[in-house]
Chain A
């Protein structure tokens, strides 16, 4: 470790702390992920593409991406509304409501999965209301979407909330003194200021949804070509000892995760460059 690599400091323990950090990171995260990428490169891009284009795999990937996108999309207005209400209004039970937002983070996904199924199955509390109207929720893509809405809501709320909280009231007042009505102020002044946070929250919600497993598999019904998600397909392929197939699907999902991570970083640095802060 040369003197140029780290700036001199009187505080001891740099080598030990960084050494352990890098070692642990390598053993737990980097080497295993490298193993996946190594396997994928062994397969080669053409093989991965043809495995991904298998009708059943393609259907699963499509279902995962479309429902995840729609869930994140739904959670943008939903999360904005919740963040707005929590930040701007004072009402009894506000703190309790604030605490429940993190429920999907805290509740084990398998528990959420069976609970959602119990609610939305044709004989469940909510499912029977829809069943009476001839609408099936559980064991269809709608059920998948619903579970993804549940798990990804906190991402939008928790990224928008602090930004909304920090938003300078004077900016809204400035808009009003310039003659803008409340609706115009919200649309032209507040929402654009929240845009980087909304995009970040959307990307986080989408990334989480694409990879989500536990809360989805129970309510999805897992019918091939209809309600089978990509992560489940990995599990199925592993159980069939189809390591190549599992690797192909996992590689595509990992690529999407990295793309989302990259997008979040780009949004943040763009926002920092243009607006001076995130």
Chain B
């Protein structure tokens, strides 16, 4: 089931949570909505589910407008951040809830429901847990039960709100791999919301980066990381040094000297601009060709050594990573820099 979101806008009183968002998700795709809190990602997810309604815009399931359908009619599987399991029901009753809620004509027999619950419990690797109560499960187990419950209704799309947000780091990583495997087996069109870039880049086919109710960039994880489309994406994902420059005739200048850039970098109009570059995209050129600078500090950060380099004629500092086997220049030493995949945006 493919999903189309057209010009979705949502106002809460005077503040706009979403400003006309467009997005298409292909059938079977696993897409992450990534952004800081307040970026509108959860609001968008809830609008798709029919838990909230947009001020303007449409949601289409398989090309059919679902805007007027209630959440019950949309048949979406929704996994809540805190799972929202029914505490007074056993795990089996939780999973069976959606099937028992169906109109009589489409409701499976109790025997069929029982079999389906068993199958789903096996699928989420919790066979034999049917008689327990949610309070008797660990966080990770509750998470998987919530997923099984959502899958029980054979949803058109699967929506997950911060699915790993309430778990500790170790369980989170395990479940991430597990969810990817499950998705590859079941093939549900899936959207999940996260504020964790590592989770989004690791898990998703495509990542939608959101900020202030707008989509900043959509792309495969490699694009998002290596070719950020906006300053926000540069800042929010990974690390980047910010270098103020002057653009003259399409060429950035720093302290009066032109900064050489790869040909595919988009150039803004002439005037003040900011050059973004990730530490791992900075090469220390032994041959001296490149932007000259002095090493301001050098320190070890885990497995690598990080350098802070002051560019000649400015106060701007550029972060770089010293090659693991090479000689790093000492503090106060001279070096030359070359930038790969930088971004250049009007200030």
Contacts and interface: CB of A to CB of B under 8 A. Distances in A.
In their complex, do chains A and B touch, with some C-beta pair under 8 Å? yes
Given A176-B51, A177-B77, A179-B75, A170 B135 contact: no
Q: What is the interface of chain B mostly: helix, strand, loop, or mixed?
A: loop
Interface string A172-184: 0111111111001
Interface residues of B, number: 31
A177 B88 contact: no
Please indicate which of the listed interface residues A170, A177, A274 has the most CB atoms of chain B within 10 Å of its own CB: A177
B84 A274 contact: no
B189 to A, nearest CB: 15
Given A173-B78, A276-B135, A193 B150 contact: no
Interface string B33-56: 000000000000000011100000
B71 A189 contact: no
A178 B101 contact: yes
B345 interface: no
A170 B133 CA distance: 18
B98 A178 contact: yes
Interface in A184-207: 184, 188-189, 192-193, 195
Interface string B47-84: 00111000000000000000000111011111011101
B90 to A, nearest CB: 10
B261 interface: no
A181 B72 contact: yes
A180 B97 contact: yes
A195 B98 CA distance: 22
B86 interface: yes
A180 B72 contact: yes
Contacts of B86: 171, 174-175, 189, 192-193
A171 B149 CA distance: 13
Contacts of B87: 193, 275-276
A177 B51 contact: yes
A188 B74 CA distance: 21
A240 interface: no
A176 B88 contact: no
B80 A173 contact: yes
B153 interface: yes
Nearest to A275: B87
Contacts of B133: 274-275
Nearest to A274: B133
Contact of A170 (B70, B82, B89): B82
A274 to B, nearest CB: 6
Interface string A43-85: 0000000000000000000000000000000000000000000
A275 B88 contact: yes
B248 interface: no
A176 B97 CA distance: 11
Contacts of A170: 80-82, 84
A176 B46 CA distance: 12
A170 B134 CA distance: 15
Please indicate which of the listed interface residues A175, A178, A180, A188 has the most CB atoms of chain B within 10 Å of its own CB: A178
A173 B77 CA distance: 11
Contacts of A189: 86
A239 interface: no
B88 A195 contact: yes
A245 B262 CA distance: 103
Contacts of B50: 177
A274 B80 CA distance: 22
Contacts of B134: 276
15 contacts: A170-B81, A173-B51, A173-B84, A174-B78, A174-B80, A175-B86, A177-B50, A177-B51, A178-B101, A178-B149, A178-B153, A192-B86, A193-B86, A193-B88, A275-B133
Given A173-B84, A184-B101, A274-B135, 10 more contacts: A175-B97, A176-B51, A178-B101, A178-B152, A179-B72, A179-B102, A188-B97, A192-B88, A193-B87, A195-B88
Interface of B: 49-51, 70-72, 74-78, 80-82, 84-89, 97-98, 101-102, 133-135, 149-150, 152-153
| Nearest 4 CB-CB pairings of A with B | A276-B135, A178-B98, A170-B84, A174-B84
